[in-house]
Structure 1
Amino acid sequence: MRALTPAEVLFDGETPPALLPVCDHYAGSEKLMLKSLALQAELGPVFDVTLDCEDGAAVGHEAEHAELVASLIGGEHDRFGRVGIRIHDFAHPHWRDDVRLVLRAAKRAPAYVTLPKIRSVADAAEMCAFIEATRREFGIEKPVPTQLLIETHGALADVFRLASLPTVEALSFGLMDFVSAHGGAIPDAGMRSPGQFDHPLVRRAKLEIAAACHAYGRVPSHNVTTEIRDMSVVAADAARARDEFGYTRMWSIHPAQVPVIVAAFAPRDEAIANAAAILLQAQAAQWGPTRHGDTLHDRASYRYYWSVLRRARATGRPLPPDAATLFGPVSKEMP
């Protein structure tokens, strides 16, 4: 009889929480898009590439830019199917055209569509519904996931309802716009470290977003670090986002940031080995309570250690050879 895997027994028939690559790298120009895709081909699908139809498009040339983005999705440079797009916001007249142009012209659907400057649940729901209707119109088999940018007062006030929308897979914090929306009440130090982690209003926003995501099995994605020279700043920001605020993903705006963010969110070797040992012992005990060293474990702690191994796989970390049985004969755990 085949040993049952954690995914089969630890979630009472429910889908395990969403798992996405831990870094979301943004690129707006053709040069930077191609450079980002080349880096992804080199490092593997440990990070996503988001092709930006919003800030990347020159005014009056939105259609041409969307067509460029579409030409790169599913093409020779998109090796892993982990390329998403950001479209214009709900108030912009071109957001529907972004969706139609990309879904019609791309060789395959984008991995996700990011919706910026969400102001209300109604706006987000309408955008999600339009994406769903468009993919059906063009014969795309599966729903296209959406990721919402939380950067307005309205979005933060409704963040739990936004996280509950059916096609949403992640919420991202838009730090710069959020601070600016306070009209100077938050000093500009709140847009960089350490202020972004210490100002009470910014802390509250980060925590609300993370809590909403974890309540609905979505992925909380942390904002960018604007430092592009000193990678120790990026690493420290990623560590604080991970350890203090519960984020499992982070934006990148420079190629040098990508490996730093991936490394920061990857479990350490000792944590991986410990998690594998505990879960293999639990699997041998048919997932009943066990004792590892001087600590008792049951399904609650098994779920935690399973998340460690899932994150290890998603970040390209090696697993102990005998841990393969925990993922089953045909694993769908990798994003």
Structure 2
Amino acid sequence: MLSDQLARARARGAVFSTLRRTAPWGLGFTGRRPLTAHILLDGTGWLTTAGDEPVRLAAGDVVLATAGEPYRLVSEIGADVETITDARRRGSDDGPGPGSRIVCGAYVVEGSVGRSLLESLPRFARIPASAQNPRHRDAIGLLAAEAGAHGSGQQVLLDRLLDLNLVYALRSWGQWDGHRAPGWYRALAHPRLAQVIQAVHERPAHRWTLETMADAAAMSRAGFAATFKEVIGQSPGAYLTEFRMGHAEDALLRTDATLASVAGSVGYGNEFAFATAFHRTHGLPPGRWRAAHRRATDHEPVDDHAP
């Protein structure tokens, strides 16, 4: 299920910063980006936001920050802060003294499945170095080295390395902070629900009903429906509709497939039934929704200086 989520939520033209700072230091972020990865390569620091308790950061910690109010990364509470825009223009501090290196990568998330992933995350998800496996730490080292280098194809490589870091970070976060993980992730610990969710993700066009889903789980309909709602937080029907609409959105935005083709690919027997369900969810028929969102995407500005 995590693979299915990430297949439609990838880095594209990501904005990277690799900065060395000598204490005291502070970096301020707007919080406008949908998802930003911060990695404290060495040294220590704090994550601070207005009205919340500061969070201590150690060397190697990863923080995934979703959109919200402005926030800061600082060496110590009360340290002066410069905006990330000014920090990137100024570059790294090369002077003597104990220093910290901070990698920041802004993630451009596309598609409704990507939004679903973001909605499942807390405002800040901290993955301590102690919760990372050795391959994740190796990937972080490679990301840091490449972010400070220059070469052909660098942007594509950075995008993919940020993807890799996100996969590792989400996997570690779900295991380390499982009580806050999304319902579909918690379902992985329930073998019968996991096999149903996997089947739905692999075959969205199948004629799924409560009965066929319960049969796939080898459970009674009542027992399956109750367990599904308790673990995932949605009824099976609501989950199925949301998942299918997410796939439909992505097909409408990323391909030129006909509405009839999109309808069939997400389990609707005809274009009318699909259009009715889509309109109920989105407030627009799929054709008009596609046209409106493609225009919005074509004209969407990207602020390269606002991780």
Both structures adopt the same fold (TM-score exceeding 0.5): no
Report which of the two structures shows the higher radius of gyration computed on alpha carbons.
2
Q: TM-score, normalised by structure 1?
A: 0.27
Structure with the largest fraction of strand: 2
